[in-house]
Amino acid sequence: MGRVERFFLNQGILRAKIDEYLAAHFYMAGYSRVEIVPVGLGTRVHIYAERPALIIGRRGSTIKRLQEILSTVFGLENPQITVSQPENPELDARVQAFRIARSIEMGYHFRRVAFTALRRIMSSGALGAEIKISGKLRTERARFEKFRAGKVYKAGEKVDELVDRAVAVAKLPKGIIGVEVTITRPGKTGDYIRIKAPEEAADFIKQVREEMEEAQPQRPEVEELIEAAEAAGAAEAGGEAAGQA
């Protein structure tokens, strides 16, 4: 392995370690993710969390201690830390997973928590969401339950483009409850098919005809095909009007 490959590999491992540390220690703050960018005077660390105040601490005490840990333990050069909320916490899988786990630890029934989170996610514009809760839910025997709404992709390029997935754990006296949240964020999917009405089809044919006339003279056979399509659309529209009458 070359020097360049080894450098980027070490940077990726360092980011993963820092992410695991922040997720474990700022679980109650609804930690989401971290961005680490080297700058001229050191390293810029941007932490996203649902409740930034818990990371900042009283008079910045927590964030100062975190700055020392990032410098001494993880070897970041002069880390400059900023904390903010995610753009949309309701569509952040890790934030939702931590929120569900905290609610279960507080004693709320897992089904009530799951349905509330699912409703909140879908009302925020998600295309789909799935919540899986596993462990000793009601008896001594471990089991799991899934709660799903909308469209959730499991394979293909849409998983990389739209799907956000996270896992959290709730620690209870009877054991550990696992929480897995999968959210399909809003975006172009390209897998919805809608049949146009006859009026829309006629407008589309007219638009195509105008564009073809501007581009080049019409050939006789193309003209005949367009006229036939227009006649068919007019016939369908007339048939629907007669049926409604």
pLDDT digits (tens, 9 = 90+) for 108-141: 999 999 999 999 999 998 999 999 999 988 878 8
Summarised one tens digit per residue, pLDDT across range 14-72 is 899 999 999 988 988 889 999 998 888 889 999 999 889 999 988 888 999 999 999 99
Phi, psi values for residue 82, rounded to 5°: -125, 145
Give, in order, the Cα–Cα distances in Å from 151 to each of 15, 156, 180.
Answer: 31, 14, 16
Say if CB 104 and CB 110 are below 8 A apart. yes
Residue 10 to residue 27: CA distance in whole angstroms: 25
3-86: which CATH number, 3.40.50.720, 3.40.50.2300, 3.20.20.70, 3.30.300.20?
3.30.300.20
**244 has a pLDDT exceeding 80:** no
DSSP H or E stretch at residue 80: strand 79-84
Indicate whether this model's pTM tops 0.75.
no
Give, in order, the Cα–Cα distances in Å from 73 to each of 38, 113, 172.
Answer: 17, 37, 31
- Helix ranges (H only) for the chain are 3-25, 52-56, 61-72, 93-105, 110-123, 157-162, 198-215, 220-244
Task: Choose among 150, 174, 176, 173: nearest CA to 163.
Answer: 150
Q: Token pair of 95, please? A: 């934030």
Tell me which residue has tokens 């899986």.
Answer: 132
Backbone φ/ψ region at 34: left (φ over 0), alpha (ψ -120 to 50), beta? beta
Looking at beta carbons, which pairs linking 15-24 to residues 24 or more positions away fall under 8 Å?
Answer: 17/74, 18/70, 18/74, 21/69, 21/74, 22/47, 23/94
Q: What is the pLDDT of residue 215?
A: 66
90-184: which CATH number, 3.30.1140.32, 3.40.50.740, 3.30.2290.10, 3.40.50.10470?
3.30.1140.32
**147 has a pLDDT exceeding 90:** yes
Q: Which residues of 214-244 are buried (b: 16+ CB within 10 A; e: fewer)?
A: eeeeeeeeeeeebeebeeebeeeeeeeeeee
At 235, is the pLDDT very low, low, confident or very high (cuts 50, 70, 90)?
low
Q: How many residues does the chain have?
A: 245
Domain range summary for the chain, segments of one domain joined by +: 3-86, 90-184, 198-240
